């Protein structure tokens, strides 16, 4: 593949420009608005208050002051843990490949409605079926929040610059290769 790009730098340049365009679009269309939407710190609140906000259509970055991690409630093969709220309702904590043992108490993350795709994945990989008390099913994303968006603010411009530099680098490599 590298040889193709060195022989035809324009092909590599188109790839790099496309990468840069996508990164710039993501930066302005998603990353910056997401970063601005979060408060400086997660908001401490009870699970009941957080659920009420999510059910009214908002995502909230919260510290659930009355919910603790229980690694005993891990869902097999689903990278998730069930967290039980004080009223008995369960929510899914999506670990995103992380380990439950590294999660800090109290439960912290972005609480939102569970997407249909994630719900289907959890059902097919773990067999978990929400009860009527669990509906609508909510997901806590412990790795989401302002810090995650900050990573995007750093990475997107770096990848855009890398994409823009591909064509000049390939031209230089071609000159070096043919000299």
Sequence spans of domains, the chain = 2-35+151-178, 39-144
- Phi and psi at residue 64, in whole multiples of 5°? -80, 100
The string of pLDDT tens digits covering residues 14-49 is: 999 999 999 999 999 999 998 998 899 999 999 999
Contacts of 157 (CB under 8 A, 6+ apart): 23, 27
Give the C-alpha separation, 133 to 88, whole Å.
8
Which token pair is 155?
A: 């990475």
CA dihedral 5, 11, 14, 16 (to 10 degrees): -10
The string of pLDDT tens digits covering residues 44-74 is: 999 999 999 999 988 999 999 998 888 878 8
β-strand partners of 63:
44, 108
Whole-prediction pTM value?
0.78
**CA-only gyration radius of the chain, Å:** 22
Give the C-alpha separation, 50 to 141, whole Å.
13
Give, rounded to a whole angstrom, the gap between the first and last alpha carbons of the chain. 21
The string of pLDDT tens digits covering residues 97-138 is: 777 766 767 889 999 999 999 889 888 888 888 999 999 999
């Amino acid at each position: 593949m590298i040889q193709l790009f060195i022989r035809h730098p324009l092909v590599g340049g188109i790839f790099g420009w496309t990468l840069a365009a996508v990164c710039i679009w993501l930066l302005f269309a998603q990353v910056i608005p997401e970063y601005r939407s979060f408060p400086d710190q997660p908001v401490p609140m009870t699970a009941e208050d957080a659920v009420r906000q999510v059910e009214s259509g908002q995502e909230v970055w919260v510290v659930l002051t009355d919910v603790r991690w229980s690694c005993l409630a891990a869902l097999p093969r689903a990278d998730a843990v069930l967290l039980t709220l004080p009223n008995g309702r369960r929510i899914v904590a999506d670990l995103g490949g992380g380990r439950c043992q590294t999660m800090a108490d109290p439960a912290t993350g972005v609480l939102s409605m569970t997407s249909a795709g994630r719900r289907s994945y959890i059902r097919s990989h773990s067999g978990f079926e929400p009860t009527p008390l669990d509906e609508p099913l909510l997901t806590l994303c412990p790795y989401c929040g302002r810090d995650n968006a900050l990573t995007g603010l750093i990475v997107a411009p770096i990848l855009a610059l890398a994409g823009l530099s591909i064509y000049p680098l390939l031209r230089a490599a071609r000159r070096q290769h043919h000299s």
